[in-house]
Amino acid sequence: AQKITQTQPGMFVQEKEAVTLDCTYDTSDPSYGLFWYKQPSSGEMIFLIYQGSYDQQNATEGRYSLNFQKARKSANLVISASQLGDSAMYFCAMREAYRDDKIIFGKGTRLHILP
């Protein structure tokens, strides 16, 4: 069965520092997709970044990058030069082989950026 694990329930980071949010996953399917979403206090989930299991390069989107280590089954989110507005809940998610009905989310990591 698929599984997503986020081991950090909460993190405090100084503004302008880089942040790494951990995510490990488990699946027996060779084809899968990995996502990160941000949820500010307003409640809306915001898509950040996507990595396909066959993608050779690590995904990057502006200040966000996904450190994809397939052999270790990890998909950590790296935020460079953190900002106060990055304070939010962050969720890692996995989709099984293009199956939109088979998406599972981790329990989330609450990130606090300190001024």
Partner 1 sequence: DVKVTQSSRYLVKRTGEKVFLECVQDMDHENMFWYRQDPGLGLRLIYFSYDVKMKEKGDIPEGYSVSREKKERFSLILESASTNQTSMYLCASKPESYNEQFFGPGTRLTVL
Which residues sit at the interface with partner 1, rule CB under 8 A?
A: 4, 33, 35, 37, 42-47, 50, 52, 91, 93, 95, 100-101, 103-108
Q: Residue 103 Cβ, how far from partner 1 at the closest point, in Å?
A: 7
Q: Which residues pair with 111 in a beta bridge?
A: 11, 88
CB 38 within 8 A of CB 48: yes
CB 6 within 8 A of CB 37: no
Name which of 90 and 115 has its Cβ closer to partner 1: 90
Q: Residue 72 Cβ, how far from partner 1 at the closest point, in Å?
A: 21
Q: Residue 14 Cβ, how far from partner 1 at the closest point, in Å?
A: 26
Grouping H, G, I as helix, E, B as strand and the rest as coil, residue 41 is coil
* Closest listed residue to residue 93, CA positions, set 42, 11, 27: 27
Name which of 30 and 100 has its Cβ closer to partner 1: 100
